[in-house]
Amino acid sequence: MRETWVVGAASNRFGKMAESARESATRVAMAAIDRAGLEPKDIGYTYVSNAFGISEHQAHVGPLINGGLGIPDVPSCTIESACSSSSAGLHEAFAQVAGGFIDAALVVGAEKLSHLDTLAATSYFAIAADYPFETRNGATFPGLYATLASAYQSAFRTTPEMFGAIAVKAHANAARNPHAHFQKEISMATYLASPVIASPLRLYDCCPFSDGTAAIVVAAKEAVPRPATEPLVIRASARSGSITEMQDRPDLLGLPATRTAAAKAFRQAHLTPKDIDFLEVHDCFTIAEVMALEDLGFFPKGTAGPAAQDGVTTRDGRLPVNPSGGLKAKGHPVSATGASQVVEVFEQFNGLAAGREVPNTGTALTHNVGATGGSCSVHIFSRR
Amino acid sequence: MEELPHASHTIAEFVRGYEEGGVLRGFHCPACDLLTATWSLACPRCGRRDLEERTLGTQGRVAAFTLLNVPGDEFLNDAPYAYVVVELEAGGRVTGWMPTVRSVADLAIGDPVHFVPSYKPGVQFAKDRGPSPGG
């Protein structure tokens, strides 16, 4: 395999986009290519994710983006893996570039949901679950994670303040991220006073519905002799799956796909959790961050909540988690989320994260989950 | 042309089973003993292919649940309600919803519940009568 880098990455501000996902994807992709110091003609393949594009009456958006970039002859395909779509795109791009089939690839994820009302958006999110065996029984996306939270609370000693500490941290970080949907801090009192959406999850336990777009340029080391920026060396690109339905999982205290994807990634990279300086994890709900940090191997089961309360995972803590603000406060534009986690690593590595810098940026891990864990991606990046 | 592999029942037959026949149809894995309602050609735990048709039990206990205040479009007029994972006494787990649970205080993990045939969509459960173990 060839050494493969992320050489450019860009994002718009998450929240509400006036433009279509197609326009946004094209503009952000061009910005990522510019940051890489490349031209669109250098791209050998485009991997697009736009899971809810059908709500904009648009499928097969890859050729439209490539046309808008002036490279209509470059092949493209759409990658859908629910909330882990664009990290799945990165995984495919890595395989093509590392395997020597192409020298550079574009990965772009874009989502627009703001033209839908809350009911329609809630229903769109729920279709990534098993329709006849979960959604048709009344499940929503918050409802499924809330069910996991109830099992977790039953097994371990938890307090609302443990989950609140994660929400407060997320907002503190997002307040310093110009890409973030919510650029305001919240207090523990605000968290505790927020209404219950799906018990035990409060409003401030939940990520928002966000529009947003993120793009990454992946290239072989040998194809970029003089990189324009500090590249991210892709040390591991691992994906895993697991039983989707909660009714068939051996336990409800974590996500099995995270455990197996993490094991693959650490094995590929010849690293352990002790080698990771900071992480971007999939915190669609505060309970998801707790389970992620435990399933990835950073904390024993039942201890990630107390660690958050002790400040271990703040930007200046021992293990900074989600300096971007995470899905929880940066926002969660489904198909853009995985790529946006890599944008955060790129900006931290390149001194572009002013005001939210983490102390050490040698090695970082990104963790991106599809729905309630039917899919999971784990990537590990290091400096050259 | 060769016949394609098929399961003992379809998803549509599973839905008709609980909506019209009052039964929860499922599959049993003879290798690892998994009992599941989820439609499958092979066991999701161990991969064994000759799954057996089983009628699942109707009595169980709540393994995990949430009280949903913000529902999806098919349950718009039913919130609040509980979404539950139920550990069946006869083996296996199924998910369902409980329209009669209107408050978090109405349900606890471990509470005994039973399947209720209903004209409404989805697998429905109701609490057994009597005090719950959680008080």
Q: What is the pLDDT of residues A155-187, one digit of tens each?
A: 999 999 999 999 999 999 999 999 999 999 999
What residues have CB less than 8 Å from A28, skipping those under 6 apart?
Answer: A10, A11, A12, A108, A110, A213, A214, A215
Which of these ranges, A93-102, A127-136, A209-218, has the smallest mean pLDDT?
Answer: A127-136
Burial A236-272 (b: 16+ CB within 10 A, else e): bbbbbebbbbbbbbeebbbbbbbbbbbebbbebbebe
The more confidently predicted of residues A13 and A128 is A13
The reply to whether residue A143 touches residue B39, judged by beta carbons under 8 angstroms, is no
Residue A376 resides in a domain: no
Task: Output the average pLDDT for chain A.
Answer: 97
pLDDT of A23 higher than 60? yes
Nearest to B65 by CA among B130, B22, B127, B135: B127
Q: How far apart are the first and last CA of chain B?
A: 60
Residue A333 resides in a domain: no
Residue A46 resides in a domain: yes
Mean pLDDT within A64-90 = 98
ipTM: 0.93
A286-295 vs A141-155: helix crossing angle, rounded to 10: 60
Q: What are the chain B neighbours of A209 within 8 Å (beta carbons)?
A: none
Cβ within 8 Å of B, A 45-74? none
Cβ within 8 Å of A, B 87-106? 92-97, 104
Mean pLDDT within A244-270 = 96
Indicate the residue of B14, B65, B121 with minimum beta-carbon distance to A147.
B65
Q: Are A76 and A93 in contact (CB under 8 A)?
A: no
pLDDT of A284 higher than 50? yes
Residue A30 resides in a domain: yes
| Per-residue pLDDT, B72 | 81
Residue A250 resides in a domain: no
Q: What are the chain B neighbours of A135 within 8 Å (beta carbons)?
A: 72, 74
Task: Tell me which residue range forms the domain holding A30.
Answer: 4-116+209-223
CATH of the domain at A51: 3.40.47.10
Q: What are the chain A neighbours of B16 within 8 Å (beta carbons)?
A: none
**C-alpha distances in Å from residue B90, one per residue of A62, A180, B58, B129:** 50, 49, 8, 19
Nearest residue on chain A to B87, judged by CA atoms? A247
Residue A181 resides in a domain: no
Structure tokens at A347: 């900006």
Q: Using 50, 70 and 90 to split pLDDT, how confident is the model at A231?
A: very high
How many domains, in total, are found in chain A? 1
| Per-residue pLDDT, B21 | 85
| Per-residue pLDDT, B135 | 40
Q: What is the pLDDT of residues A53-70, one digit of tens each?
A: 999 999 999 999 999 999
Indicate the residue of B76, B96, B109 with minimum beta-carbon distance to A150.
B109
Residue A41 resides in a domain: yes
| Per-residue pLDDT, B134 | 46
Q: What is the pLDDT of residues A285-324, one digit of tens each?
A: 999 999 999 999 999 999 999 999 999 999 999 999 999 9
A118-126 vs A141-155: helix crossing angle, rounded to 10: 70
How would you write the pLDDT of chain B (135 residues) with one tens digit per residue?
899 999 999 999 999 999 988 999 999 999 999 999 999 999 999 999 999 999 999 999 999 999 999 888 889 899 999 999 999 999 999 999 999 999 999 999 999 999 998 878 899 999 998 655 544
The answer to whether residue B45 neighbours chain A at the CB level (below 8 Å) is: yes
Distance of residue B132 Cα from the nearest chain A Cα, in angstroms? 16
The answer to whether residue A245 neighbours chain B at the CB level (below 8 Å) is: yes
Is the full-model pTM beyond 0.95?
Answer: yes
For chain A, what percent of residues have pLDDT higher than 90? 96
Domains in chain B (CATH in brackets) are 11-55 (no CATH), 59-127 (2.40.50)
